Amino acid sequence: MPDSQDAPPVVAGCANCLIVDDEPSVRRSLVRMLQTQGFHCFEAGSGSEALGVLDRIGEAPLVISDMRMPELDGIGLLEAVRQRYPDTSVIMLTGMGETTTAVDCLHMGAADFLLKPISVSELQARVSRVLEKRALVLQNRYYQQNLERQVHEQAQRIQELFLQGVQMLARALEAKDAYTRGHSIRVSQYAVGTARQLGFQGARLDGIRLGGELHDIGKIGTREAVLHKPGTLTADEFRQISEHPALGEQMLSPLAQESPDVLRIVRSHHERLDGGGFPDGLCGENIPIEARIVAVADAFDAMTTERPYRASRAPEDAVNELRRVAGTQLDPAAVEAFVDAFPDPAELPVSA
């Protein structure tokens, strides 16, 4: 529950009240009655004058208005107040012959109506009831909004804790393996530089950063003997390793709502532009752009670090290779953005 210091505003005795009637004597008597209840009263002789007063004083919790008035009448005023000041309660004053219209006013959003001549006790009872109802509506809305905010904050916190756990797991796994140590962080850095070059910013850039860091998280489910095999993979071993993008996406599914781009990266970073990649065999622009960016970063880092099955390549050679496979395997725009972002490959943080 919210702190009591955050409690919604409650109408106090000194609240503003606007009395609207073209008869000055009726206004005066209402003002006297309401002042004894502690209200600070304003007066207006017509609907349009009343709107002018409300514009000047801001919202008033309570408007008491006659029905028949020159210029803007009570119904016109009620409509305008409901539209401009939805939290203001309007009580209509009616004569004996106007009860049907008064009922219509209730349908139009009036809080209540009072029959003339008005007695002090009747006025006090109706005003108290109307303001009590208004306070309940405001409190209800406040608690609802506050609850939604708290639920949202807790969901975010749960997601943060989940992410921290996954990031720690990814780093712990990498730390055990000399060949892939630092790979995720470097891929993330390359991908962010490339994405920035392509105009990504804000939350989309954050998605690339995180997606780059977690892109291979699904390898947790791949046997180490397969991951670190020095020679060529058998068809079955290749099938096992090909499962890591889908497995990673499944693991990170709690991020689906807040960070769908991260899931797209994890699932599609091994797709190829010519459709020969996995797991979905997507072609060209059907591959999410975030995944195409990470694929370039991943390919560069894989080539410039030593693997069990081959030695590392010089950064310049790796850039040439990226350009050679641009258009078939990698997105040419992403490759060029990578080259523009890191114009001197020799200075890249390879094999950190």
Q: Which stretch binds Fe ion (CB under 5 A): 168-176, 216-224, 250-258, 337-345?
A: 216-224
Tokens of 233: 């993979």
What is residue 275's DSSP assignment?
S
Catalytic site residue from 133, 176, 219, 229: 219
**Which region holds residue 15: left if phi is over 0, alpha if psi is between -120 and 50, else beta?**
beta
Shortest Cβ 143–Fe ion spacing (Å): 47
| Smallest distance, Fe ion to C-beta of residue 240, A | 13
User: Do 113 and 164 touch, CB atoms closer than 8 A?
Assistant: no
Judge whether 316 and 324 are in contact, CB under 8 Å: no
Site for Fe ion in 20-49 (CB under 5 A): none
Tell me, residue by residue from 264 to 303, as one string, x for binding to Fe ion by CB under 5 A and - for no binding. ----------------------------------------
With CB under 5 A, what is the number of residues at the site for Fe ion?
1
- Do strands 62-66 and 89-94 pair parallel, antiparallel, or not at all (unpaired)? parallel
Task: Identify which range of 45-53, 211-219, 222-230, 246-254 contacts Fe ion by CB under 5 A.
Answer: 211-219
Which one among 112, 174, 216, 261 touches Fe ion, defined by CB under 5 A? 216
Pick the closest to residue 180 from 308, 66, 55, 57 (CA basis): 308
Query: x-or-dash pattern for Fe ion, window 102-141, by CB under 5 A?
Result: ----------------------------------------
In this complex, which beta carbon is closest to Fe ion, that of residue 216 or of residue 290?
216
Q: Is 229 a catalytic residue?
A: no
- Show the binding pattern over residues 167-206: x = contacts Fe ion (CB under 5 A), - = does not: ----------------------------------------
Give the nearer residue to Fe ion in terms of CB position, either 49 or 216.
Answer: 216
Cα separation of 203 and 108, whole Å?
Answer: 44
Residue 1 Cβ vs Fe ion, minimum distance, rounded to whole Å: 47
Helix (H) / strand (E) containing 146: helix 120-175
Residue number with CB closer to Fe ion (114 or 287): 287
Measured between alpha carbons, how far is 138 from 144 in angstroms, rounded to an integer? 10
Say which amino acid occupies 343. P
| CA–CA gap between residue 104 and residue 116 (Å, rounded) | 17
* Smallest separation, CB 218 to Fe ion (Å): 8
Residue among 27 and 186 whose Cβ is closer to Fe ion:
186
Closest CA to 346 of 324, 316, 303: 316
Q: Which is nearer to Fe ion, 207 or 218 (CB)?
A: 218
67 alpha-carbon distance from chain centroid: 45
Name the closest residue to Fe ion (Cβ): 216
Please state, in angstroms and rounded to a whole number, the distance separating the CA atoms of residues 210 and 188. Answer: 7
Place of tokens 């990814």: 170
**Reduced DSSP (H G I as helix, E B as strand, rest coil) percent helix, strand, coil of the chain, to 5:** 60, 10, 30
Nearer to Fe ion, 27 or 219 (CB): 219
Residue-wise DSSP of 148-183: HHHHHHHHHHHHHHHHHHHHHHHHHHHHT-TTTTTH
Q: How far is the CB of 237 from Fe ion (least distance, A)?
A: 15
- Give the shortest CB-216-to-Fe ion separation in angstroms: 4
Q: Which is nearer to Fe ion, 66 or 216 (CB)?
A: 216
- Nearest approach, Cβ of residue 314 and Fe ion (Å): 23
Where do contacts with Fe ion occur on this chain (CB under 5 A)? 216
- The residues annotated as belonging to the active site are 219
